[in-house]
Amino acid sequence: MASAKKGYHYLTVKDTIIKLDSVRDKKLFKVTSPQKVNANKNKAQSFNAPNPTSVLNTRQDTTPTAGGLKSVVKATAEDSSFVDNDHKMKYLYGKARVTYEDFELDAEYIRVDENKHEIFARGAIDPKTRRYIGRPLTKSGQEKPVASDSLVFNYTTKKVKIWNPASEQEGNYISGGLAKRINENEVAYRNVIFSTCDLPYPDTHFGIVITKGIGQKNRIISGPAYLEIAGVPLPLGIPFGFFPKPDSRTSGVILPTFGEDQKLGFYLRNLGYYVGINDNIDVTFMSSLYSKGSYELSANSRYLKRYKYGGNLTLSYGSHNYGLAGDPAVKDFNVAWTHSQDPSANPGTTFSASVNAGTSSFYRNSPGQNNYDLSRLTQNNLRSSISYGRTWVGTPFNLNVSLGHSQDLTQKTVTLELPTFSFNMSTLSPFDSKDRVGEQKWYQRITVGYSLVGTNKLNNIPEAELFKSNTLSKRLQSGLQHQIPVAFNATVLKYFQFNTGVNYTERWYLQSIRKRFDRGSRDAIIDTVAGFARAGEYSFNAGFSTKLYGTIPFKKGNITAIRHVSTPSISFNYRPDFGDPSYGYYRTAVSAATVPYPYYAQRYSIFEQSVYGGPSPGKQAGIGFSLDNTIEAKVRPKSTDTSGVARKIPILQGLTFSTFYNFAADSLKLSNINFSGHTSVLNEKVNINFSGSFDPYYTQVRDSITNGRLQNYIRRVNRFSWQQGKFPLLQSFSFSASGSLNPATFHPKATVPVGNTLQTMDPNQAQRLAMINSDPGAYIDFNIPWNISLNYSFNYNNNIINTSSSNTIMLSGDVSLTDKWKIQYNTNYDLKLGKLSDATSFAIYRDLHCWDLSIQWLPFGFYKSYNVTLKVKASILQDLKLSKRSDYTNNAGFY
């Protein structure tokens, strides 16, 4: 029992070392009643200075003499403090704090012994909750804070003795036992737990108990150590060990997983090596080996230059033998690269890359490299883009250059753009003056723009022919396209908007085509003709538009009025017939007449295989009609709304009808009547879209006999349906509804600040988002108790003799059964066929604090499988996991 007799102040709590929970192990604590504690504290305050938080200094100890201190020991307390000058002791109670040089200490109780140059600190038992509170928290220099149950610090030798410490460094936690600081670089440990769990001892779920050890800056050298899980020691131990505590990237081996694949045999999967080159770049090498001769190799490099750029590059290669023994292996490769530039790194210039290219069978043959991601296994195409952009400040010009890649995995074809560029000039008013005063003259409203695009394109090249020598020389398509829009707009008679314009398009090519028939052949032969060829076309348009408002007021009820806004517009469009032989853009190939075949004729465009095509045939001179409608209701404010402003609720956000009447056509002059609309319900949480098309002309159904079979065909008659007493035919109709509902939807949070959006995120955030998108199970938000994403789609097509429709609903989301259990689901249901999609999947997650338990299940279909994984959360031990999987390749034995 420590005491201070001269000051008549007695400590009521023993200065013992407290290692256990004060509620669960309350019998181990011997404390006096709360009344006595408070009485002694009040007594201590009677001997204290008037200000209970005064700074206590010892002047004679601050002189830098041979045996004195080099700095001032500063001490404060929020509750009370007591000074025993005879014994040179200081007692601080209630959120006490002591600082000495770069050493900082906070605790519920602190005792300073100036004779021994020692500081003792501990917590205290809360008289209400009976829990141990105010544990000492120490910090020295640039080191991370260390919590403990109690400690003794010598501020001359700077040696520290800590009971039940709790500290963290780069995802590693040390807690429990005893730690003694020997010098500035070494700490002695006894019975401490080295773990990735941030819970203090004895609640740590997983760890290695180091009975004796020495801790240095970047490592711990231990004597005997053993494994402990949830407080239960396991018979797994080592006589001595080495545990790294890196404060920077460190190279090392990545442990593999073992298992068996039904087709590939036993495997050693994801054996790798991590190389931390520096703080800006690292490389991870991974390999998987199979007993039947297959193997997979990959290299992933991440790089980041703060405030400049960041990215990720992955090269993958696989050799698989899914056939019989002795069959040649299937070779696959894949290249994935993402790169983003910080917007502030180089104003006016942008560079980005998103590359995903490889063989069409890579994802199917190498599912393990992608963690059996169903979205990747079932995808039909790959796309890539590398782009560079430049904007000249103070000018209307900008440039964009890009390399593009598109790959159809089903057809096994590749389309490359090598490269594509665009040079644009934003619209300007050439007759307007920057120093103009007053309103614009009519000619000053004329605007002119310009754009130039060019490309070198390989279109739909089979994978097997992509790297052949003659592919580039014979299949490469090049072209340039110029566009010059000239426009004028003005307000006429106060309420009408008038606009008119001329658009000119010029295309340049280095080759064109010619078609011909061989004698006796019915199939045309296409010849490519080298040489410069141009195609120019132009069109003229003019139109009027206005707005009409209508309001229906209501005197009773919550709705005060309903407003209808109608926007009618009428336009005139003219474009000559560029299929006329005088332009030379279209030609006719005629075959020679042979017995028993007559001659054949085929009209074609000499630019039909060019990258930008050519002018379309047919003269157009007609009037277009369009009518857009919006309807909204004005609702009286709620009684709790202090603003008193009426709320506007959209009923119909848009309903548009449009058609075109072509006077130059010889028949069927009226185009289809198209309509589309959109709105939202449930306080704009569910979006609804619909569209369709009516055929205004009467359609006849005729019969014919072909190869001895009766067949129907349709023929449109130049007569309107209503002239036949019928309503126009609904040729197509589509309806969709989508929405995402969760508690945050009904109780929205504050707007996300600038810098946290997809457009403004930094490269590090982009890499983390890419990881989440590739593995949604890597991020589970238990703060949202439930979430439902719904997407309903209906499509209908009718040409009288054939009618088709589809009716599907897509449902996904998650629900938290408890604070630690969450179920995710994703499915498609065909309402017409009455069956679930083969892509239906379920996932169950259990948060085990420093562990994760995940169960993923695809109950049926070709990819029917399950996967159960128990793993450590800490990134440093991501390879410490237990997994049980039944892959879709093992469906023969799946139950």
CA distance 189 to 137: 18
Q: Is the pLDDT confidence value at 33 over 60?
A: no
- Reading the block at residue 213, the tokens are 């050890």
CA distance 714 to 704: 11
Task: Tell me the pLDDT band of 631, cut-offs 50, 70 and 90.
Answer: very high
Q: Is the pLDDT confidence value at 383 over 70?
A: yes
CA distance 827 to 519: 57
For 707-732, letters b (16+ CB in 10 Å) and e give eeeeeeeeeeeeeebeeeeeebbebb
pLDDT digits (tens, 9 = 90+) for 339-365: 999 888 888 899 999 999 999 888 888
Is 888 in contact with 865 (CB distance < 8 Å)?
yes
Is 843 in contact with 863 (CB distance < 8 Å)?
no
Mean pLDDT estimate for the chain: 82
Q: What is the mean pLDDT of residues 237-264?
A: 76
The gap from C-alpha 816 to its chain's centroid, in whole angstroms, comes to: 22
Q: What is the pLDDT of residue 596?
A: 64
Q: How far is CA 394 from CA 397, 449, 485, 635, 857, in A?
A: 9, 16, 22, 47, 57
Q: Report the predicted TM-score, pTM, of the whole model to 2 decimal places.
A: 0.68
Q: What is the mean pLDDT of residues 138-153?
A: 86
pLDDT digits (tens, 9 = 90+) for 570-600: 999 999 999 999 999 999 998 876 666 677 7
Residues 6+ apart with CB under 8 A from 341: 308, 309, 350, 351, 352
Lowest-pLDDT choice from 98-107, 767-776, 820-829 = 767-776
Q: Would you say the C-alpha torsion 99, 103, 108, 113 has a positive or negative sign?
A: negative
CB atoms within 10 A of CB 814: 22
For residue 365, give the 3-state DSSP assignment.
helix
CA distance 834 to 601: 49
CA distance 40 to 52: 15
CA distance 477 to 510: 8
Lowest-pLDDT choice from 194-198, 479-483, 494-498, 634-638 = 194-198
- Reading the block at residue 203, the tokens are 């609640």
For residue 51, give the 3-state DSSP assignment.
coil
Is 758 in contact with 352 (CB distance < 8 Å)?
no
Q: What is the pLDDT of residue 625?
A: 96
Where are the strands (E) in 14-84, listed by range? Answer: 74-76, 80-84
Taking Cα atoms as reference points, which of 731, 841, 845, 729 lies closest to residue 781?
845
Task: Tell me the pLDDT band of 888, cut-offs 50, 70 and 90.
Answer: low
Is 857 in contact with 841 (CB distance < 8 Å)?
yes
Residues 6+ apart with CB under 8 A from 652: 629, 630, 631, 632, 677, 679
Task: Tell me the pLDDT band of 782, cut-offs 50, 70 and 90.
Answer: low
CA distance 62 to 69: 5
Higher per-residue pLDDT: 821 or 765: 821
- Reading the block at residue 682, the tokens are 């449930």
Residues 6+ apart with CB under 8 A from 647: 634, 635, 637
Higher per-residue pLDDT: 701 or 735: 735
Cα-based angle 30, 36, 41 (whole degrees, multiple of 5): 110
| Residue with the two structure tokens 């829009």 | 485
Task: Tell me the pLDDT band of 515, cut-offs 50, 70 and 90.
Answer: very high
Return the H-helix or E-strand segment holding 36.
helix 34-45
Is 770 in contact with 763 (CB distance < 8 Å)?
no
Task: Tell me the pLDDT band of 240, cut-offs 50, 70 and 90.
Answer: confident
Q: How far is CA 422 from CA 347, 387, 415, 476, in A?
A: 19, 11, 19, 19
Q: What is the pLDDT of residue 181?
A: 86
The gap from C-alpha 201 to its chain's centroid, in whole angstroms, comes to: 37
Higher per-residue pLDDT: 533 or 760: 533
- Reading the block at residue 805, the tokens are 């429709």
CA distance 498 to 502: 14
Q: Is the pLDDT confidence value at 199 over 70?
A: yes
Lowest-pLDDT choice from 525-539, 686-700, 872-886 = 872-886
Is 168 in contact with 247 (CB distance < 8 Å)?
no
CA distance 202 to 242: 23
Q: What is the pLDDT of residue 243?
A: 73
Taking Cα atoms as reference points, which of 210, 234, 231 lies closest to residue 21?
231
Taking Cα atoms as reference points, which of 297, 289, 290, 287 lies closest to residue 263?
290
Residues in the chain, how many? Answer: 895
Reported as half-sphere exposure (CB side, CA atoms, 13 A), residue 581 has a value of 3
| Residue with the two structure tokens 């202090």 | 642
Q: For residues 24, 29, 32 and 35, what is the CA-based torsion angle, rounded to 10 degrees?
A: -30
CA distance 23 to 33: 16
CA distance 83 to 91: 6
Higher per-residue pLDDT: 577 or 250: 577
Instruction: Pick the most confident of 185-194, 242-251, 537-546, 823-832.
Output: 537-546
Position 89: which residue type? M
Q: What is the mean pLDDT of residues 291-295?
A: 90
CA distance 102 to 789: 54
Reported as half-sphere exposure (CB side, CA atoms, 13 A), residue 451 has a value of 12
Helix then strand count (H, E) for the chain reads 6, 56
Q: Is the pLDDT confidence value at 398 over 70?
A: yes
- Reading the block at residue 13, the tokens are 């709590």
Percent of the chain exceeding pLDDT 70 equals: 83
CA distance 14 to 32: 10
Percent of the chain exceeding pLDDT 90 equals: 37
Lowest-pLDDT choice from 35-39, 187-191, 732-736 = 35-39
CA distance 788 to 823: 12
Task: Tell me the pLDDT band of 616, cut-offs 50, 70 and 90.
Answer: very high
- Residue 27 carries which DSSP code? G
258 burial via Cβ count (<10 Å: 0-12, 13-18, 19+): exposed
| Residue with the two structure tokens 């009976």 | 130
Is 179 in contact with 162 (CB distance < 8 Å)?
yes
List beta partners, residue 695. Answer: 729
CA distance 827 to 858: 10
CA distance 164 to 420: 65
Q: What is the mean pLDDT of residues 4-22?
A: 38
pLDDT digits (tens, 9 = 90+) for 843-866: 888 887 777 888 888 888 777 888
Query: Cis omega before residue 728 (within 30°)?
Result: no
pLDDT digits (tens, 9 = 90+) for 705-715: 777 788 888 88
- Residue 555 carries which DSSP code? S
Q: What is the pLDDT of residue 372?
A: 67
List beta partners, residue 830. Answer: 808, 835
Reported as half-sphere exposure (CB side, CA atoms, 13 A), residue 739 has a value of 16
CA distance 205 to 852: 12
Taking Cα atoms as reference points, which of 553, 440, 534, 435 lies closest to residue 482?
534
